[in-house]
Amino acid sequence: MRDGVSVSCALPINTSSDIDNPMPGTHLMLRAGDVTPDWPTHSTADYLAIAPHGLAHSHLDALCHVTWKDQIYNGRPASQVTSMGALCNDITAGAQGIVTRGVLLDLPAVRGVEWLEPNTALRPSDLEAAEAAAGVRVESGDVLLVRTGRWKRRAAHGAWNPWQDGMAGLHHEAAPWLHQRGVAVLGFDGISDALPHAVEMDGLPIHTLTLVAMGLQLLDNHNFEELAEACAVRQRYAFLLVIAPLRLEKGPASMVKPQPGVPSRRPRGAAPSRFRNPCPRQGGASKKAPLGQPQRGVPKKSGGARSPHFFRQGEKKTNACSPRFSGV
């Protein structure tokens, strides 16, 4: 990408308690000019504490976040996530950053509404309809971002309790579709799971199937309103995406700010149709990106999911759209 617009997908850090934010962040000033004007130190300083998980803060889940039958991803025992932190599958799997193609699927735009109602459960047919409308296909190595319009609805009607009143997200039937497409990371303006869900279980089915069974990390509670507008104006729904988790050793999550770069110009000679594929394949053939190695320190199991989205020193990873994003 040589030119374009950069858009943040993170919410402002929320320090106010509300029905959908029972654990707000804590932001305090340690040094400030209005209370110590005669202090010889010429600087200000602050303190930030936050619990990333929940329904209010933009974060990336690590593969140790969810357990199923006393196991976490790749068959590791849940006891490896100790009271002192995770001994494996922690958030530092992405210590070198995540740099790949991002794809936005804007479900309210497809349905001609401003937002999806809280009890909406999205199935594979809904995702494929959004692909067709955007003129893009989700492929191996992509970070898939799904907009439901949650924050636009909240701005119009106020906060609500998703655990009681529901929230739009994926039906559990969508999990095999994510696996078949080789999605590297899944991001939602909610928590990926539809609430309420239709599975009789403790916990969340999409969280369990992605984090435990597939090794697919989740971006929760992100804001895609500005990104959706930028994509619609430019008629492009695929873009370079950079995600930089904190290097928090033993951590099960990280606050994160996904940063898409949406190209501002169509390729030379391309038709200005909204339904044109924004990332045409080289040579006219559709190719899947090669999957990478399993996350560092985790042995690959037969039939297990692999993580194609982490860059390591000495390795060069590309996906099917890499020629589009040469240069900066």
What CATH number is given for 4-11+52-325 in this structure? Answer: 3.50.30.50
What is the residue whose two structure tokens read 């110009």?
A: 265
Sign of the torsion formed by the C-alpha atoms of 215, 80, 193 and 143: negative
Query: Which pLDDT value is given to residue 315?
Result: 36
Locate all alpha helices (DSSP H) within 117-260, ordered by sequence.
Answer: 124-134, 150-157, 162-165, 175-181, 205-207, 225-234
3-state secondary structure of 73: helix
Peptide bond before residue 267 is cis, with ω within 30 degrees of 0: no
Q: Domain map of the chain by residue range?
A: 4-11+52-325
CB-neighbour burial class of residue 294 (10 A; exposed 0-12, middle 13-18, buried 19+): buried
Rg of the Cα atoms in the chain:
20
Q: Of the candidates 327, 37, 88, 61, which has an alpha carbon nearest to the alpha carbon of residue 206?
A: 61
Q: For each of the chain's 328 residues, which pLDDT tens digit applies?
A: 566 789 999 999 999 999 999 999 999 999 888 876 676 667 889 999 999 999 999 999 999 999 999 999 999 999 999 999 999 999 999 999 999 999 999 999 999 999 999 999 999 999 999 999 999 999 999 999 999 999 999 999 999 999 999 999 999 999 999 999 999 999 999 999 999 998 988 889 999 999 999 999 999 999 999 999 999 999 999 999 999 999 999 999 999 999 999 876 555 444 343 433 333 333 333 343 333 333 333 333 434 433 443 333 333 333 333 223 222 2
Secondary structure E strands in the chain: 4-6, 26-31, 45-49, 59-61, 71-72, 76-77, 81-82, 85-86, 98-106, 121-122, 143-147, 169-170, 185-188, 217-220, 238-243, 253-255, 259-263
Please give the sequence-ordered ranges of beta strands (E in DSSP) within 62-168, or none if there are none: 71-72, 76-77, 81-82, 85-86, 98-106, 121-122, 143-147
Looking at the chain, how many residues does it have? 328
- H helices within the chain, ranges in order? 107-111, 124-134, 150-157, 162-165, 175-181, 205-207, 225-234
- The pLDDT value recorded for residue 312 is 32
* 130-143 burial: b if 16+ Cβ within 10 Å, else e: bbebbbbbbbbbbb
Give the residue among 308, 112, 311, 98 at the shortest CA–CA distance from 219.
98
Q: What is the pLDDT of residue 325?
A: 29
Rounded Cα distance between 79 and 35, Å, is 47
Token pair of 9 as six digits = 């997908």
Instruction: Output DSSP code: residue 151.
Output: H
